Structure 1
Amino acid sequence: MTRKRLLAAIAATASAAGLLGAVVTAEAAAPSLSAAFTQSSVWDSGYGGKYTLTNSGDANSTQWTIEFDLPAGTAITTSWSSVLTRTGQHYKVTNAGFNGTVKPGGSASFGFNTSGLGLPTGCTINGSPCGGGAPTTTTTTSKPPTTTTTVPSGDVVDVGTAAELQAALAAASPGQTIRLAAGTYRGSFVATKPGTAAAPITVTGPSTAVLINDGPSGEAPPCPAPTAGWDSGYGFWLYGAPYWQLKGFTVQESKKGIVADNSQHTVIEGVRVHRIDEEAVHFRRSSADSVIRDSTISHTGLVQAGYGEGVYLGSANSNWACHGNSGGVDRSDRIQVLGNHIGPYVAAEAIDVKEGTADGVIRGNTFDGQGVSGQNSADSWVDVKGTGYVIEGNTGTFASPGTFANGYETHNPGTTPSFPNGCGNVWRNNKSDLGGVGQYAIKITSTSKCSERPNVVYASNTVSRAVNGLTNVPVTP
């Protein structure tokens, strides 16, 4: 018999006997949270830390807040599975959306990496002492992980944990290969060391090596840049890191998938990017002469549908104040998008080619438009606002659900005679199935704005199940 039923039975019996001279009260069920700190790894200049929360009460805890201090000289650089704010050396950490509820007997956790070796003190959970501060270390502190040691250029560095990967990225040198073991890597992964044309830096792993960033957290800078105390939420971030090659692994459950900022000659090959809050792959801040090929992208825009592009080339001119690092323009030029499978449920365009970019190639890709959202004018496979692109040999299909207007579109923001955005592009040998919904396979928005550099649609393009036809402009034989 449960306690509630037992008390009810006692009360009923006492009342019937006329003996209920005292009120019987039941103690309300309540959660009881505690938290314990552990170190998952330690290296020369920092460590990986983790707090594990346990509910020993008899009711669900629906939210939690942990606060603690770090000594001067130590700061959290990245965190995950939480929302983190900082005031001086005092940190306040609240639950993420997915781990706020802790059932009786259950647990939740969050983690972080530091710069500096000082340990947390004064830990409280929901205002009560939580027993943190004196850590139970799970690795020895007398010897840093092997990935923090200096390795000769060209060597292979094998990693199997998030901390090892972060250390390897921080120590990367030209010609080096960082090799991921299968498993889940949860954290912030940022590369800032340049490779060279003769000796690129490579990160490679199987598709079962999965990178997840549960950020963002902390106070963001005015323009995105690696900043102490701020986690961008990007799954993998190249920043000022040209000549990197990313091969084979998976990125998922992050704010953005892979972002290349001012990182020319980036090669992304055979990766999988899916279940992303915003865009999957973004070449930004003049990350020119780069390639993405033989990769698979799906299920983007889970939080910001209108910004859930599959591959995003350059930046809108409204963002050039941050990303326009080439004469005030984001010149992510000559990027090749080759042989990728993009969709379904890519909420914005499969490929968004922004104004100010030029001379790229979009070839041999497969576009599945199912699930395109229509938000923020996202209603086509490819939107071309750049100049001089060759778009050929692609196959596109559309099936409901989704909002779909045309297969390929051009637009001309900010076009002048000296800056012909959305002009001079060429389509040939593309195959389009518009699902009985799309108007044109290739919709050219303006011919007058491109009179000096017209867009060209060749007769080798084909279309089926179109409302209007192949294109709205004369076809070139």
Structure 2
Amino acid sequence: MTRKRLLAAIAATVSAAGLLGAVVTAEAAAPSLAATFSQGSVWGSGYGGKYTLANSGDANSTQWTIEFDLPAGTTITTSWSSVLTRTGQHYKFSNADFNGTVKPGGTANFGFNTSGLGVPTGCTVNGNPCGGGTPTSTTTSPTTTSSRPPTSTTTTVPPGEVVEVDTAVELQAALAAASPGQIIRLAAGTYRGSFVATKPGTANAPITVTGPSTAVLINDGPSGEAPSCPVPTAGWDPGYGFWLYGAPYWHLKGFTVQESKKGIVADDSQHTVIDGVGVHQIDEEGVHFRRSSADSVLRDSTISHTGLVQAGYGEGVYLGSANSNWPCHGNSGGVDRGDRIQVLNNHIGPYVAAESIDIKEGTADGVIRGNTFDGQGVSGENSADSWIDAKGTGYVIEGNTGTFASPGTFVNGYETHNPGTTPSFPNGCGNVWRNNKSDLGGVGQYAIKITSTSKCSERPNVVYASNTVSRAVNGLTNIPVTP
């Protein structure tokens, strides 16, 4: 019997409410994704874009990929909450590890900044038009991938051995045996455990840990009995995703840290470079430069969803230590001197529960430039109500873009405070703001609030007229603006 006659015979013996009805019902259980584009901040040479995915189907969507084109003259400079690949003017965004599943009625989102003002065209989500309406399949064809990521053609490999690792045990062994100039390269995958580096690199031969964003470090700690001050101790796991201790000249590139007590902690580890990492779903702070980890850099990275357990201590980036913690971390004449740290071109937020960047007293002469702050989800706990709290001295804060939208508690975009200030120790003084763009969401009072001018009479804070603000209750700043 031919296939056509067989199907006709089967159809003749099955009632409309029987087997065929059951088959139709089974096929209807599927996800249906739609994606909506929106613009946030817009400036003269670019804008912040966002895609929100919504699942109107009746089954989970377990992965998503959005593709679109941008016109010539517009390029994406940074992105977050996604994995980006580009071919010419065609852009492809796949979900990050933490936002791939979209439940029925649920949403997910990712964002990006552009150079140029052209908007996306030809958008598809999982191969279907972004407007939705066509169920998307959760079944994907098996793919074959290399167990080793390809060597970047844009990175100069310093002298030393390249160590490939695939497992948590291999990574721990590589960290323990690391030597100057070595590259430890992570394959894609999940690495669960305690990852501590204590071997120093050198200026001419830093030690590098690199991997794709799909190489994810998770620390399920803490465990064991903690010492009075944090120091690597047998039998104790602090729960840090990646911990540098007494390990200067390390470069951390590309991989992701998530689901840990703290994200990345650098203790007494000068000249640390953190480049293009993702830090998400963290109990407390995302990245902490501590115990005088001076002359370090955090750049081109994304940090979100911090303070999941300790909201008031869920900073995105933490520079130095509060003076109450100097007995543990004040290793430079009794002070935690995290000086000359640069925080460049990162995306911090949303749902960073404390400040995007907390600049602690005792630190000096850093640069905060080109970052995007998404204040949605700031908690207001422990005075966490701004993008930056500047208690350090001599910082240049410029070219950043900050926005706030509910939910959250938001008072000012940038604030200064002066704990322990004396004429010889002018905390929260001598800082400079210029070319920052602030959208306070109709809630924030000032873009830049200077708490005290009298305490900084010798080294005043300076707010230049190049800063701009929108949707502020009171305005740009509470002090005279410098032309």
1:222 match: secondary structure: coil
Post-superposition CA distance 1:40-61 (Å, at most 9, x none):
9999999999999999999999
Displacement, 1:108? 29
- Give me the whole-angstrom Cα distance separating, in 2, the residues matched to 1:128 and 1:459: 47
After TM superposition, the structure 1 stretch with the greater mean CA deviation from structure 2, 292-301 or 111-120, is 111-120
Post-superposition CA distance 1:291-324 (Å, at most 9, x none):
0000000000000000000000000000000000
2:23 match: secondary structure: coil
After TM superposition, the structure 1 stretch with the greater mean CA deviation from structure 2, 234-243 or 49-58, is 49-58
Q: TM-score, normalised by structure 1?
A: 0.69
Stretches of 4+ moved more than 6 A in 1? 1-153
Q: Is the 8 A contact 2:398 2:436 kept in 1?
A: yes
Displacement, 1:139? 33
Q: Is the 8 A contact 2:80 2:347 kept in 1?
A: no
Post-superposition CA distance 1:387-406 (Å, at most 9, x none):
00000000000000000000
- Give me the whole-angstrom Cα distance separating, in 1, the residues matched to 2:416 and 2:197: 34
Q: Is the 8 A contact 1:79 1:188 kept in 2?
A: no
Change (3 A) 1:168 1:469: same
**Which residue is equivalent to 1:421?**
427
Displacement, 1:260? 0.1
1:321 match: secondary structure: helix
Q: Is the 8 A contact 1:121 1:132 kept in 2?
A: no
**Which residue is equivalent to 2:78?**
78
**Which residue is equivalent to 1:135?**
135
Change (3 A) 1:19 1:106: closer
- Give me the whole-angstrom Cα distance separating, in 2, the residues matched to 1:223 and 1:405: 34
- Give me the whole-angstrom Cα distance separating, in 1, the residues matched to 2:372 and 2:70: 50
- Give me the whole-angstrom Cα distance separating, in 2, the residues matched to 1:463 and 1:114: 20
Change (3 A) 1:8 1:453: farther
- Give me the whole-angstrom Cα distance separating, in 2, the residues matched to 1:434 and 1:42: 14
- Give me the whole-angstrom Cα distance separating, in 2, the residues matched to 1:208 and 1:221: 33
Change (3 A) 1:26 1:379: closer
Change (3 A) 1:409 1:158: same
| Matched pairs, number | 477
- Give me the whole-angstrom Cα distance separating, in 2, the residues matched to 1:172 and 1:258: 18
- Give me the whole-angstrom Cα distance separating, in 1, the residues matched to 2:62 and 2:31: 9
After TM superposition, the structure 1 stretch with the greater mean CA deviation from structure 2, 262-271 or 111-120, is 111-120
After TM superposition, the structure 1 stretch with the greater mean CA deviation from structure 2, 431-440 or 22-31, is 22-31
Change (3 A) 1:446 1:209: same
Change (3 A) 1:163 1:440: same
Q: Is the 8 A contact 1:37 1:51 kept in 2?
A: yes
After TM superposition, the structure 1 stretch with the greater mean CA deviation from structure 2, 243-252 or 88-97, is 88-97
Q: Is the 8 A contact 1:78 1:187 kept in 2?
A: no
Larger Rg: 1
- Give me the whole-angstrom Cα distance separating, in 1, the residues matched to 2:229 and 2:42: 31
Displacement, 1:135? 48
Change (3 A) 1:61 1:227: farther
Change (3 A) 1:374 1:4: farther
- Give me the whole-angstrom Cα distance separating, in 1, the residues matched to 2:466 and 2:69: 66
1:435 match: secondary structure: coil
Change (3 A) 1:120 1:373: closer
2:27 match: secondary structure: coil
Displacement, 1:87? 58
Q: What fraction of aligned residue pairs are identical, expressed as a percent?
A: 90
- Give me the whole-angstrom Cα distance separating, in 2, the residues matched to 1:470 and 1:428: 12
Displacement, 1:155? 1.0
Unaligned runs of 5+ in 2: 142-146
Change (3 A) 1:226 1:123: farther
- Give me the whole-angstrom Cα distance separating, in 2, the residues matched to 1:170 and 1:446: 47
Change (3 A) 1:437 1:171: same
2:15 match: secondary structure: helix
Post-superposition CA distance 1:51-73 (Å, at most 9, x none):
99999999999999999999999
**Which residue is equivalent to 2:120?**
120
- Give me the whole-angstrom Cα distance separating, in 1, the residues matched to 2:355 and 2:205: 34
Change (3 A) 1:55 1:191: farther
Change (3 A) 1:140 1:322: farther
- Give me the whole-angstrom Cα distance separating, in 1, the residues matched to 2:85 and 2:468: 54
- Give me the whole-angstrom Cα distance separating, in 2, the residues matched to 1:334 and 1:247: 20
Q: Is the 8 A contact 2:57 2:135 kept in 1?
A: no
Q: RMSD of aligned C-alpha atoms? A: 16.9
Change (3 A) 1:50 1:188: farther
Change (3 A) 1:213 1:32: farther
Change (3 A) 1:25 1:118: closer
Unaligned runs of 5+ in 1: none
After TM superposition, the structure 1 stretch with the greater mean CA deviation from structure 2, 95-104 or 224-233, is 95-104
- Give me the whole-angstrom Cα distance separating, in 2, the residues matched to 1:404 and 1:38: 23
Q: TM-score, normalised by structure 2?
A: 0.69
Q: Is the 8 A contact 1:41 1:139 kept in 2?
A: no
Post-superposition CA distance 1:88-131 (Å, at most 9, x none):
99999999999999999999999999999999999999999999
Q: Is the 8 A contact 1:188 1:235 kept in 2?
A: yes
- Give me the whole-angstrom Cα distance separating, in 1, the residues matched to 2:441 and 2:45: 57
Change (3 A) 1:231 1:282: same
Q: Is the 8 A contact 1:79 1:215 kept in 2?
A: no
After TM superposition, the structure 1 stretch with the greater mean CA deviation from structure 2, 306-315 or 12-21, is 12-21
2:21 match: secondary structure: coil
- Give me the whole-angstrom Cα distance separating, in 1, the residues matched to 2:469 and 2:119: 63
Post-superposition CA distance 1:187-209 (Å, at most 9, x none):
00000000000000000000000
Displacement, 1:133? 57
After TM superposition, list the pairs within 5 Å mapping 1:459-474 onto structure 2. Answer: 459-474=465-480
